């Protein structure tokens, strides 16, 4: 679903299709609540197309808007995107600078004239070790957060700069500190406590993770959240700038189908076979 | 900070003693065998039925629908809702058809691959496959699942058998470290049977007089076992082993991290430790001691990747491999995972 189609009115038809599709998915009542995105492959895409790396990142940004638009329309309440890893500071300073510029202008765009923020009422959170950000970017980030702080419908977490281990360390430290201050008894330290103190603490649990460009690693993204049982992990072969509404739609449909199918299947008789020691009777 | 490790281990030990009821706990979740998602006609019927017949639970949907009340009031919202439900069913049917084709394509592929790669109990064949590869993972991990009692290769004995197959292939491939993860810890609870099963499997692969030595480590209980029961290594020379196997379960994941946090909180309360002492390096070294090293490659033998609570700290850069719609522990998945690993390049951040 690209906008390159030259038929008059084609884009309207596409928008209509997208809207109908998202309503349909919404009606299934099996929409992921929190989607994680690893937007991998912008640089490889740029190399393949023989354009500057900057262009690749730009294309990636548009691709992200397309995917998120469909998600939010279909009723996803939170999305977390991996924009910049702490490890990315190892890249060439020119590229780091251009990424920072892109982030600055991107955040600006989303906040000021991007319809997305207004249309969906998106609240933007920038999560990660923000001490590492340059001052001007940090200012932009804070401005974006204050402008969107009253939006209630959906949340966009931008991980910038972030690693999963750093997040976990941060949470562990906060929990330990809370016990020191007497807010939490050490016997009350449990999974929920760690969850609360993660950067994604206020969000629903992650139930879908998407990574593009054929790499089957987490690369230190949401390690705590994604290693849970029943989190759907999708690894796609396409590069992130080529990831569009079509792929997103397919993933949402797949998710909804498998979840409605699973709820249809969960018959208690299936489970306590072992307890009763009775032979398994497959029910149809 | 060996104090930390001691404490965590002690805490885990106590927990282990008190958690006998855990053993009786019906493994509700395990038995929910992940069906390979084979979309038969009955499944579609089920899915469609559940879609049509169950009213929407979520508050959001209801609110949305209410907010869409048009001129016609409530009934138009209902009509619209039914309209979308019907469209959803149509979509589901189309999806099921596509999925059905995909499923059978994948199954056929797996079948052919299983025929193409067969270890036939000979380490030499595995060695030949491996020698073609550019690099091998130093540490391998695999997630095994207990299948339904009645199925082929189901129940605890199925898990033991899958585990010992993996051990035999890993030894033959020349990889020195293997971590086997199963959610409920069937392997570690039945460690003696597992040792026997591994030994038995190895006698099929190797000459009975020359069976490779192995060590089985259970990090949760801080125990190491050598070889099969009755053949324990008595002196230091025979403690040289061909492979070290760690048995992990859900407890080695999140719960160990929580235990570690609790211990550090206690130490901080007793002023034996400062908050600033908690660093990435400290947590990493503690978790390495308590659980093990991060694996380079994680093999999963289910139809869709599901990490099932695998220790989160340890999957930072781990490469995952699984075969879509596969539901068996087979050599073809093992060797194809190694091939995939040999072909990938890891660049941290760059």
Q: Do B143 and B197 fall into the same domain?
A: yes
Q: Do B214 and B158 fall into the same domain?
A: yes
Of B111, B143, B171, the one marking the end of a domain is B111
Residue pLDDT, tens place only, B92-107: 999 999 999 999 999 9
Asked if pLDDT for residue A86 goes beyond 70, the answer is yes
Nearest-by-CA chain B residue for A279: B150
Lowest average pLDDT, out of A211-215, B21-25, B252-256, goes to B21-25
pLDDT at B64: 55
What are residue B346's DSSP bridge partners? none
Q: What is the mean pLDDT of residues B67-77?
A: 58
Q: Do B135 and B104 fall into the same domain?
A: no
Residue pLDDT, tens place only, A29-49: 899 999 999 998 888 999 999
Judge whether B267 lies within some domain.
no
CB-based contact B348 A90, cutoff 8 Å: yes
Q: What is the mean pLDDT of residues A221-249?
A: 93
Q: Do B96 and B45 fall into the same domain?
A: yes
> Which secondary-structure segment (H or E) carries B196?
helix B191-205
Per-residue DSSP letter, B253: T
Q: Do B54 and B174 fall into the same domain?
A: no
CB-based contact A179 B265, cutoff 8 Å: yes
User: In this complex, is the C-beta atom of B312 within 8 Å of any C-beta atom belonging to chain A?
Assistant: yes
CB-based contact A223 B313, cutoff 8 Å: yes
CB-based contact A169 B61, cutoff 8 Å: no
Judge whether B263 lies within some domain.
no
Dihedral pair phi/psi, residue A32, rounded to 5°: -60, 140
pLDDT interval class at A81 (50, 70, 90): very high
**Which of these, A130, A144, A142, A125, lies nearest to A202 by C-alpha position?**
A125
- Chain A, residues 182-201, CB within 8 A of chain B, namely 186-187, 189-191, 194
Judge whether B244 lies within some domain.
yes
Q: Do B165 and B226 fall into the same domain?
A: yes
pLDDT at A148: 83
What is A188-239 written as a DSSP string? Answer: G--HHHHHHHSTTTTSPPP-EEEE-TT----TTSSHHHHTSTT-EEEE-SS-
pLDDT interval class at A113 (50, 70, 90): low
Of B111, B136, B162, the one marking the end of a domain is B111
Judge whether B49 lies within some domain.
yes
Residue pLDDT, tens place only, B264-312: 999 998 989 899 999 999 999 999 999 999 999 999 999 999 999 999 9
CB-based contact B350 A257, cutoff 8 Å: no
Judge whether B16 lies within some domain.
no
CB-based contact B42 A27, cutoff 8 Å: no
pLDDT at B18: 54
Q: What is the mean pLDDT of residues B164-172?
A: 94
Lowest average pLDDT, out of A57-71, A122-136, A191-205, B9-23, goes to B9-23
CB-based contact B150 A284, cutoff 8 Å: no
Separation between Cα atoms, residue A1 and residue A19, nearest integer Å:
13
Residue pLDDT, tens place only, A236-270: 999 999 998 999 999 999 999 998 887 655 444 34
Q: Do B249 and B196 fall into the same domain?
A: yes
- The CATH number of whichever domain residue B306 belongs to comes to 3.40.1180.10
Separation between Cα atoms, residue A98 and residue A87, nearest integer Å:
16
Judge whether B324 lies within some domain.
yes
Dihedral pair phi/psi, residue B136, rounded to 5°: -120, 145
Nearest-by-CA chain B residue for A207: B306
Residue B99 lies in domain: 41-111
Residues of B in contact with A274 (CB under 8 A): 26-27, 31, 149
Q: Do B190 and B309 fall into the same domain?
A: yes
Among A25, A194, A227, the residue with its CB nearest the CB of B315 is A227
User: In this complex, is the C-beta atom of A83 within 8 Å of any C-beta atom belonging to chain B?
Assistant: no
Instruction: Kindly give, in sequence order, each residue whose CB lies less than 8 Å from that of residue A219, ignoring residues fewer than 6 positions away.
Output: A38, A40, A82, A85, B316, B317
pLDDT, greater one: A253 or B121: A253
Judge whether B25 lies within some domain.
no
Q: What is the mean pLDDT of residues B316-334?
A: 93
User: In this complex, is the C-beta atom of B320 within 8 Å of any C-beta atom belonging to chain A?
Assistant: yes
Asked if pLDDT for residue A82 goes beyond 80, the answer is yes
User: In this complex, is the C-beta atom of B307 within 8 Å of any C-beta atom belonging to chain A?
Assistant: yes
Q: Do B200 and B323 fall into the same domain?
A: yes
* Structural domain count of chain B: 2
CB-based contact B95 A257, cutoff 8 Å: yes
Separation between Cα atoms, residue A83 and residue A101, nearest integer Å:
13
Nearest-by-CA chain B residue for A182: B269
Q: What is the mean pLDDT of residues A113-137?
A: 79
Asked if pLDDT for residue B238 goes beyond 70, the answer is no
Size of the A and B interface in Cβ pairs below 8 Å: 202
CB-based contact A180 B42, cutoff 8 Å: no
Q: Do B192 and B334 fall into the same domain?
A: yes
Residue pLDDT, tens place only, B242-272: 999 999 999 999 999 999 999 999 999 898 9
Separation between Cα atoms, residue A169 and residue A269, nearest integer Å:
42
Q: Do B173 and B72 fall into the same domain?
A: no
Of B111, B135, B164, the one marking the end of a domain is B111
ipTM: 0.85
Judge whether B163 lies within some domain.
yes
- Mean pLDDT estimate for chain B: 83
Helix A10-27 and helix B59-67, axial crossing angle in degrees, nearest 10: 130
Q: Do B192 and B316 fall into the same domain?
A: yes
């Amino acid at each position: 679903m690209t906008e390159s189609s030259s038929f008059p009115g084609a884009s309207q038809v596409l928008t209509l299709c997208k809207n109908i599709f998202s309503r349909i998915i919404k009606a299934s009542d099996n929409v992921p609540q929190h989607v994680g995105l690893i937007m991998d492959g912008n640089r490889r895409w740029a190399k393949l197309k023989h354009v500057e790396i900057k262009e690749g990142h730009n294309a990636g940004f548009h691709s992200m808007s397309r995917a998120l638009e469909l998600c939010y329309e279909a009723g996803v309440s939170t999305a977390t995107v991996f924009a910049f890893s702490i490890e990315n500071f190892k890249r060439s300073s020119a590229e780091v600078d251009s990424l920072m510029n892109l982030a600055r202008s991107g955040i600006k765009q989303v906040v000021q004239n991007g319809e997305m923020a207004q249309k969906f009422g998106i609240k933007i959170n920038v999560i990660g070790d923000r001490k590492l950000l340059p001052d001007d970017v940090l200012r932009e980030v804070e401005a974006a957060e204050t402008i969107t702080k009253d939006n209630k419908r959906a949340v966009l977490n931008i991980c910038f700069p972030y690693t999963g281990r750093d997040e976990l360390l941060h949470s562990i430290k906060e929990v330990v500190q809370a016990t020191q201050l007497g807010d939490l008894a050490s016997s009350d330290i449990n999974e929920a406590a760690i969850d609360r103190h993660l950067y994604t603490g206020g969000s629903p649990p992650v139930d879908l993770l998407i990574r593009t460009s054929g790499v089957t690693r987490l690369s230190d993204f949401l390690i705590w959240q994604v290693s849970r049982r029943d989190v759907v992990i999708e690894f796609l072969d396409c590069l992130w700038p080529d990831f569009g509404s079509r792929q997103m739609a397919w993933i949402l449909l797949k998710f909804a189908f498998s979840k409605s199918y699973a709820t249809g299947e969960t018959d208690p008789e299936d489970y306590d076979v072992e307890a009763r020691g009775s032979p398994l009777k497959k029910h149809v | 900070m060996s104090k930390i490790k001691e404490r965590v281990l002690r805490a885990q030990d106590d927990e282990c003693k008190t958690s006998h009821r855990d053993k009786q706990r019906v493994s509700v979740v395990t038995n929910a065998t992940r069906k390979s998602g084979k979309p038969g006609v009955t499944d579609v019927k089920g899915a469609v039925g559940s879609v049509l017949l169950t009213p929407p639970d979520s508050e959001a949907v209801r609110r949305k629908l209410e907010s869409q009340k048009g001129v016609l009031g409530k009934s138009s919202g209902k009509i619209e809702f039914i309209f979308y439900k019907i469209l959803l069913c149509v979509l589901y049917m189309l999806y099921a058809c596509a999925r059905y084709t995909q499923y059978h394509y994948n199954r056929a592929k797996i079948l052919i691959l299983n025929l193409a790669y067969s270890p036939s109990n000979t380490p030499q064949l595995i060695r030949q496959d491996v020698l073609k590869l550019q690099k091998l993972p130093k540490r391998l991990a695999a997630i095994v699942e207990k299948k339904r009692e009645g199925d082929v290769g189901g129940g605890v004995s199925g898990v033991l058998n899958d585990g010992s197959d993996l051990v035999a292939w890993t030894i033959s491939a020349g990889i020195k470290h293997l971590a086997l993860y199963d959610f409920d810890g069937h392997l570690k609870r039945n460690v003696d049977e597992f040792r026997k099963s591994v030994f038995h499997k190895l006698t099929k692969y190797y000459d009975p007089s020359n069976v490779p030595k192995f060590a089985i480590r259970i990090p949760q209980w801080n125990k190491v076992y050598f070889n099969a029961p009755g053949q324990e290594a008595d002196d230091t020379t025979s403690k040289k082993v061909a492979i070290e196997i760690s048995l992990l379960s859900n407890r080695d994941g999140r719960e160990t991290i929580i235990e570690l946090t609790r211990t550090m909180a206690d130490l901080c309360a007793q002023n034996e430790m400062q908050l600033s002492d908690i660093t990435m390096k400290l947590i990493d070294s503690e978790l390495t001691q308590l659980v093990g090293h991060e694996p380079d490659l994680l093999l999963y033998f289910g139809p869709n990747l599901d990490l099932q609570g695998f220790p989160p700290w340890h999957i930072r850069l781990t490469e995952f491999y699984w075969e879509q719609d596969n539901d068996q522990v087979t050599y073809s998945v093992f060797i194809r995972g190694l091939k995939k690993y040999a072909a990938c390049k890891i660049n941290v951040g760059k």
